[in-house]
């Protein structure tokens, strides 16, 4: 199939001083992002969520297959079902499936199998990786780099939600197969992550943790 190319019309180059200022300002914004585990039940206008999901949809993906689906759950009953199923998995995880080392690594975060935020938060976004799709003739179309692509899109979604003034929790109850059943997702989709979205609860507390320094995460050769 011949590809059609168009001019890169929307690219904007800034003077270097402005580039640095923009990079600094964006870092200042992003370094205030924190995962929270206590949410307010205040509702979020769907238009805000939609803009953020559209931002996620700008992510690069293998062969531009855009192998992701963002299932936005606001329905009380579905949220309750998700909480019940997630807590059942988490109970087994904390009762031994995680193993001693993993539980030791989680100690500073004081996490436990109770996940009330899955019901309190106004929005849960269940993110699915589409490992393959079906073409018009019902034939399987393999997706390339679907996990990497969905990971990048999820990063953009978290960034967009933070920029909009919302808080998130990247929640990964393991295994997450219950999400496929509860949300009636088609074959070819694998639950990737459950993103809890909302406003922080009043007086919310977060763990006193720090990020690695530039010198620890960057190598110049």
Binding site for ligand IYR (CB under 6 A): 90, 93, 106, 109, 111, 171-174
Q: Which is nearer to ligand IYR, 173 or 191 (by Cβ)?
A: 173
The two tokens of residue 100 are 């001693």
User: Residue 54: CA atoms inside 13 Å, Cβ hemisphere, count?
Assistant: 6
Q: Which is nearer to ligand IYR, 26 or 109 (CB)?
A: 109
CB of 120 to ligand IYR, least distance (A): 15
Q: Which is nearer to ligand IYR, 68 or 93 (CB)?
A: 93
The smaller minimum CB distance to ligand IYR, of residues 61 and 194, is found at 194
Return all residues near 200 (Cβ < 8 A) that are at least 6 apart: 36, 38, 39, 40, 167
The least CB distance from residue 148 to ligand IYR, in Å, is 19
Pairwise CA distance, residues 197 & 121, whole Å: 6
H-type alpha helices, 31-141:
46-56, 76-92, 100-106, 117-120
| Closest residue to ligand IYR: CB criterion | 111
Nearer of residues 171 and 190 to ligand IYR, judged by Cβ: 171
Cβ partners under 8 Å of residue 74, min gap 6? 46, 122, 123
State the minimum distance, in angstroms, from the CB of residue 109 to ligand IYR: 6
Question: From the CB of 105, what's the least distance to ligand IYR, in Å?
Answer: 7
All residues at 6 or more sequence positions from 218 whose CB lies less than 8 Å from its CB, including other chains: none
Half-sphere exposure of 32 (CA within 13 A, CB side): 12
Q: Closest distance between ligand IYR and the C-beta of residue 19, in Å?
A: 34
């Amino acid at each position: 199939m011949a590809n059609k190319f168009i001019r890169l019309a929307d690219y904007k180059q800034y003077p270097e001083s402005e580039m640095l200022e923009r990079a600094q300002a964006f870092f200042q914004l992003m370094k205030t992002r924190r995962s929270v585990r206590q949410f307010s039940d205040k509702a979020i206008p769907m238009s805000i969520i939609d803009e953020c999901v559209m931002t996620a949809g700008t992510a690069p993906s293998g062969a531009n297959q855009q192998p992701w689906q963002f299932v936005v759950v606001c329905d009380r009953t579905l949220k309750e079902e998700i909480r019940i199923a997630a807590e059942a998995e988490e109970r087994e995880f904390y009762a031994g499936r995680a193993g001693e080392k993993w539980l030791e690594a989680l100690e500073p975060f004081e996490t436990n199998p109770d996940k009330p935020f899955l019901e309190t938060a106004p929005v849960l976004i269940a993110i699915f990786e589409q490992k393959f799709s079906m073409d018009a003739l019902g034939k399987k179309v393999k997706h390339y780099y679907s996990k990497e692509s969905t990971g990048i899109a999820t990063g953009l979604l978290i960034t967009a939600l933070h920029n909009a003034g919302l808080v998130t929790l990247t929640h990964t109850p393991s295994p997450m197969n219950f999400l496929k059943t509860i949300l009636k997702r088609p074959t070819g989709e694998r639950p990737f992550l459950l993103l809890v979205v909302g406003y922080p609860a009043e007086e919310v507390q977060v763990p006193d943790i720090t990020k690695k320094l530039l010198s620890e995460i960057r190598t110049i050769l």
